[in-house]
Amino acid sequence: MKILKEFHHFKAGSLGSERVSHYERFLLDRILEKGAKIPDNKRQNSMAWELKHHASCVQFARLFAKKRGLSEDVCAVGMLLHDIYAIDEGEYSNHARLGGPVAQEILDHLGGFDEAERTLILRIITEHSDKHIFSNDSYSEFGKDVDVLDCFLYPEAFNFYLKEKPPNKLHAYLLRAGRINADLGLPMDKRFDILKSYQPDGKWLACYACPTGVEPLETACRSGLSLAIVAGTDREVTILFPCNEEDAFRTAFDATGRGCVLSTAPVMPHRLQIIWPILGLYEDVSGLAACSNRLQNFLL
């Protein structure tokens, strides 16, 4: 028999022996401490985001751990600390791997987990960014899935990934998000199909020169394609689009009565318009270096 106690509400000194609660209180204090040292205008993230993201991730961790038969405490602490490097430094570059040693220090400090459990916690943390890698490791996949689930529930997250992730990684994110929705019995988001034509061979985009007098943005929007990239130089405009949708794109051009010309390779543009016609979204990129970097992402 145990005495019935009131819920501690994470008050300092009242947490008792439940080990995860100590990590939850620790992380909240850490976020507030680091936020005071590195303000939002010097971060890639924000402290508001870290507070919201980690609070929801730990709850999803408990839910997924129950559903998948994993250790609830291990999963909860893994997700509490999965972005610890970004919290401390305000940087996301390689934050999963760099967060491993920081998390190790916290585990040493707070204790409560044996060596086998610590190994699993660190695996969740250091591998959660490898969402383009699908494995049979239950804890590694768990960390990736919980992060994706939480992020995609924010209305603007989808557009963020369109802009920030190259197609090979975006394709993996959308595939993973679709599988999570199916696993939870949620309605499938039709936007998850926008890269169904993606092929990881670097040759998934065909390149067509846009005829003189044809408005490329208007043509791309009429095409009904998932993606079109308008690449412009001082002398010509080229449109890249998924290869297996070639007939649809030819039809769009034929409607202008001008046809189109297949190019052997994309030109190096000074300006880009990355268009997602079926989503009604586009992105403008200007400058040779910026266009080169963005275009190379799409040619991965």
Query: What is the residue-level pLDDT of the chain in tens, covering all 300 positions?
Result: 877 777 877 787 777 778 999 999 999 999 999 988 999 999 998 999 999 999 999 999 999 999 999 999 999 999 999 999 999 999 999 999 999 999 999 999 999 999 999 999 999 999 999 999 999 999 999 999 999 999 999 988 888 888 888 888 888 899 999 999 999 999 988 888 888 777 776 567 776 666 666 676 676 676 666 787 877 776 667 777 676 555 555 555 554 445 555 554 555 678 888 888 778 888 888 888 888 888 777 766
Residue 252's H or E segment, with its range, is: helix 246-254
pLDDT, residue 66, reads 96
To the nearest 10°, the Cα dihedral for 245, 214, 165, 277?
-60
Whole-number Å distance between alpha carbons of 88 and 66: 30
Q: Give the pLDDT confidence score for residue 194 in this predicted structure.
A: 83
- Measured CA to CA, the distance from residue 16 to residue 9 in angstroms comes to 11
pLDDT of residue 271: 83
Provide the strand spans (E) within 228-292: 228-232, 237-242, 261-262, 271-276, 281-286
pLDDT score for 202: 57
Residue 27 has a pLDDT of 94
> Are 241 and 208 spatial neighbours (Cβ–Cβ below 8 Å)?
yes
Predicted confidence at residue 69, as pLDDT, reads 97
Predicted local confidence at residue 25, as pLDDT: 93
- Residue 257: the pLDDT is 45
- CATH tag, 19-130+141-151: 1.10.3210.10
Domain locations in the chain as residue ranges: 19-130+141-151, 205-298
Taking the whole predicted model, whether its pTM rises above 0.75 is answered as yes
